[in-house]
Structure 1
Amino acid sequence: MAELAELEDPRVRAVNEKHGADHGVNLTKLRAVAKRLKKQQDLAVELWATGDSSARLLAILVSRPKEFERDQLDAMLRQARAPKVHDWLVNYVVKKGPHAEELRLTWFDDPDPVVASAGWALATERVAKKPEGLDVSGLLDLIEAQMKDAPDRLQWAMNECLAQIGIEHAEHRARAVGIGERLEVLKDYPTPPGCTSPFAPVWINEMVSRRQEPVGGA
Structure 2
Amino acid sequence: MPEATVAEVMAELAALEEPKVRAVNERHGDDHGVKLGPLRALAKRLKTQQDLACRLWGTGDSAARLLALLICRPKAFGRDELDTMLREARTPKVHDWLVNHVVRKSPHAEELRLAWSADPDPVVASAGWALTAERVAKKPEGLDLAELLDTIEAEMKDAPDRLQWAMNTCLARIGIDHAEHRSRALGIGERLEVLKDYPTPPGCTSPYAPVWITEMVRRQEEAPAGS
Q: Which range, TM-score by smaller chain? A: over 0.9
The answer for unaligned runs of 5 or more in structure 2 is 1-9
Cα 1:182–1:32, aligned 2, differ >3 Å: closer, same or farther?
same
In structure 2, what is the Cα distance between the partners aligned to 1:205 and 1:108? 27
In structure 2, what is the Cα distance between the partners aligned to 1:8 and 1:192? 27
1:27 alignment partner in structure 2 = 36
Map 1:1-218 to 2 at 5 A: 1-213=10-222
In structure 2, what is the Cα distance between the partners aligned to 1:171 and 1:189? 27
SS in 1 for 2:182: helix
Normalising to structure 1: TM-score of the pair?
A: 0.98
The answer for unaligned runs of 5 or more in structure 1 is none
Alignment-mate amino acid for residue 195 of structure 2: L
Deviations 1:92-136 (A, max 9, x none): 000011111000011001111000000000000100011000111
In structure 2, what is the Cα distance between the partners aligned to 1:217 and 1:53? 41
Deviations 1:69-90 (A, max 9, x none): 1100000000000100000000
SS in 1 for 2:157: helix
Cα 1:215–1:3, aligned 2, differ >3 Å: closer, same or farther?
closer
Superposed displacement of residue 213, structure 1:
2.1
SS in 1 for 2:197: coil
Alignment-mate amino acid for residue 155 of structure 2: Q
Deviations 1:119-174 (A, max 9, x none): 00000010001100011111100000000000000000000000000000000000
In structure 2, what is the Cα distance between the partners aligned to 1:215 and 1:46? 48
In structure 2, what is the Cα distance between the partners aligned to 1:215 and 1:56? 41
Alignment-mate amino acid for residue 3 of structure 1: E
Moved beyond 3 Å, runs of 4+? 214-218
In structure 1, what is the Cα distance between the partners aligned to 2:134 and 2:111? 14
Length, aligned pairs only: 218
In structure 2, what is the Cα distance between the partners aligned to 1:41 and 1:210? 40
SS in 2 for 1:24: coil
In structure 2, what is the Cα distance between the partners aligned to 1:205 and 1:155? 20
Superposed displacement of residue 8, structure 1:
1.0
In structure 2, what is the Cα distance between the partners aligned to 1:104 and 1:123? 7
CA-based RMSD: 1.3
SS in 1 for 2:156: helix
Percent identity (aligned): 77
2:3 alignment partner in structure 1 = none
SS in 2 for 1:148: coil
